[in-house]
Amino acid sequence: MAVVVRSGDETPLRELIERCAELKGELVEFAQSARFDRWLTPLLLEAAGPERRLDEAEAVRIIDHFILRYPLPGGTTVVDRFVAGQRDLTEADRAMLLGWRDPVEGVFEVRRKDGDAVVLLNLVDDLEYRTYSNVGREAFRGVSAGGFLLACLVPVHSAEGAWLISGAMSPYPRSSATEIARAALQLATSHPSLVFRNPEKIEQGWRSMREDRAAFVEFCGSDELVLPPAEAEELLNSYYRHRQQAAVAEQPGRVRGRRLPGLDFPAFELPQGLADSDTVGVIYDDVDGLNFYPDYGMLRSLFADPAVAGRKQHQDLLRGYLREESIAPLPIRRLAAAHPETVDEVFRKLLRKPGFTWTEHGDELLRRRKPWYYESEPRPGVSVIGDRLGELAAGGRRRKFSRAERVPRQPDRP
């Protein structure tokens, strides 16, 4: 799907863009004031590395991300604090600034130039964006149709379909298509929320995930496994190879012996926190997708035999699962459902609440410990690649490309 977004009357739009430039200048000055040094300076130093070298474009990207997305204490952003502290802002100014908290980060193909704007196709979400710069058309002098941009866009409030470059943009020629496709694939698989800005991709993602989960269950024999880390890695790599071979088999017209573009990724490896575990839980849920859990065998033994609940190691593990934000309620819900006769005893000992029952208090406990999980709509655990990105990944050959990349959620050790 590709949606062309258009703006209305150009005269007020120019005025809005000029106002955007003024606001962005004030916002950058505000962000670089001493009040934010404790957060911004470490980010810049980390990016500069031991040699303390940081090019201007990278510094601009870091500052821009810090302004728009960095979570400050209390969950606010620099934009929130700027809006709250500037009493002379109009309601339109406030709406404009607050709209910038949801930027579009992507890898874009330049479709065409149109006056002061360029029309960009985001290869990640497969949507088109009519885009301007607050410094005018001069910003796009080195940009040509068929080339690419790495950029961040923010909406121009009250100008429907108009977007603005935020921070630094990096142009790439048409000849960089292979590298650009690889970067877009990496972004789509590591940050699926960027893909799901496109509503059509959400439904496609659910459909692809259901198909992938069914294939996983058929291949592995279950949607829940407990394995040593090395065996888990070997199984997942075997599964990915199986899926790759199935995908190639679905392309009878392809040259024999060639790999399907987009599938030739490095071997699957567990992150260190999971690789160091005695066991790894592998659960492919129909809603939460494919996830990996450290020391899941120990946790499962706790629910199977509550007598071990008095052991500090087991209690600490369950506390970690409850505390860790990277772990959804899924594994605890699974174990509670699998052991209804012991779950109450497990939590009574852990919480030191003799009146606790999972039926009455379990849901409340998880909602209190993991509010972030319940505050947002569930999203598919796979990213669906658009036709144009698939075409670029295939080296420019036109063909249907609906590969759903695996996006396993891999929590750190609690």
Judge whether residue 254 has pLDDT over 70.
no
| 229 shares a domain with 104 | no
Average pLDDT of the segment spanning 186-202: 87
Q: What integer pLDDT is reported at residue 253 of this predicted model?
A: 57
The DSSP line for 17-67 is HHHHHHHHHHHHHHHTSGGGHHHHHHHHHHHHTTTT---HHHHHHHHHHHH
Question: What are the contacts of 352-355 at 24+ separation with CB within 8 A?
Answer: none
393 belongs to a structural domain: no
Q: What integer pLDDT is reported at residue 129 of this predicted model?
A: 95
| 150 shares a domain with 63 | yes
Judge whether residue 404 has pLDDT over 50.
no
Angstrom distance (rounded) from CA 334 to CA 135: 55
Judge whether residue 381 has pLDDT over 90.
no
In one letter, which amino acid is 38? R
| 207 shares a domain with 334 | yes
102 belongs to a structural domain: yes
More confident residue, 11 or 25: 25
Of 155, 217, 147, the residue nearest 176 (C-alpha): 147
| 211 shares a domain with 164 | no
Judge whether residue 31 has pLDDT over 80.
yes
| 253 shares a domain with 339 | yes
Q: Into how many domains does the chain fold? A: 2
More confident residue, 10 or 126: 126
Share of the chain above pLDDT 70, in %: 88
Of 300, 267, 264, the residue nearest 282 (C-alpha): 300
Residue partners of 54: CB distance under 8 A and separation at least 6 = 44, 47, 48
Q: What integer pLDDT is reported at residue 412 of this predicted model?
A: 40
186 belongs to a structural domain: no
Residue partners of 384: CB distance under 8 A and separation at least 6 = 195, 201, 204, 205, 208, 402, 404
pLDDT, tens digit (0-9, with 9 covering 90-100), for 266-313: 578 888 889 899 999 999 999 999 999 999 999 999 999 888 756 889
pLDDT, tens digit (0-9, with 9 covering 90-100), for 49-100: 888 888 888 999 999 999 999 999 988 999 999 999 999 999 999 999 999 9
Q: What is the DSSP letter of 310?
A: G
Q: How many residues does the chain have?
A: 414
Backbone conformation region of residue 58, classed left if phi is above 0, alpha if psi is from -120 to 50, else beta: alpha
192 belongs to a structural domain: no
Check which CATH number belongs to the domain holding 100 and give it: 2.40.50.110
Judge whether residue 7 has pLDDT over 60.
no
**E strand intervals along 115-230:** 117-122, 128-132, 148-155, 162-165, 170-172, 224-227
386 belongs to a structural domain: no
| 293 shares a domain with 214 | yes
b/e map of 140-177 (b: 16 or more CB within 10 Å)?
beebeeebbbbbbbbbbbebeebbbbbbbbebbeeeeb
Q: What integer pLDDT is reported at residue 251 of this predicted model?
A: 64
| 268 shares a domain with 141 | no
401 belongs to a structural domain: no
SS (H, E, C) 230-254: HHHHHHHHHHHHHHHHHHHHCCCCC
Judge whether residue 257 has pLDDT over 70.
no
Q: What integer pLDDT is reported at residue 138 of this predicted model?
A: 85
| 66 shares a domain with 142 | yes
Of 374, 389, 406, the domain-final residue: 374
| 71 shares a domain with 148 | yes
- Of 166-175, 176-185, 217-226, 390-399, the least confident: 390-399
| 259 shares a domain with 134 | no
414 belongs to a structural domain: no
Angstrom distance (rounded) from CA 21 to CA 96: 12
Judge whether residue 117 has pLDDT over 50.
yes
Angstrom distance (rounded) from CA 109 to CA 396: 13
If you average pLDDT over every residue of the chain, what do you get?
A: 86
Judge whether residue 159 has pLDDT over 90.
no
Judge whether residue 326 has pLDDT over 90.
no
**E strand intervals along 166-223:** 170-172
Instruction: Please check whether residue 343 is in contact with residue 336, taking contact to mean a CB–CB distance below 8 angstroms.
Output: yes
| 274 shares a domain with 137 | no
Q: What integer pLDDT is reported at residue 266 of this predicted model?
A: 56
248 belongs to a structural domain: yes
Q: What integer pLDDT is reported at residue 301 of this predicted model?
A: 93
Instruction: Please check whether residue 166 is in contact with residue 103, taking contact to mean a CB–CB distance below 8 angstroms.
Output: yes
Confidence band, pLDDT 50/70/90 cuts, at residue 252: low
- Domain residues for the domain of 328 are 199-374
Instruction: Please check whether residue 224 is in contact with residue 281, taking contact to mean a CB–CB distance below 8 angstroms.
Output: yes
Angle at CA of residue 202, ends 322 and 336, nearest 5°: 25
Which tokens in the block code for residue 403?
């590969």
| 220 shares a domain with 144 | no
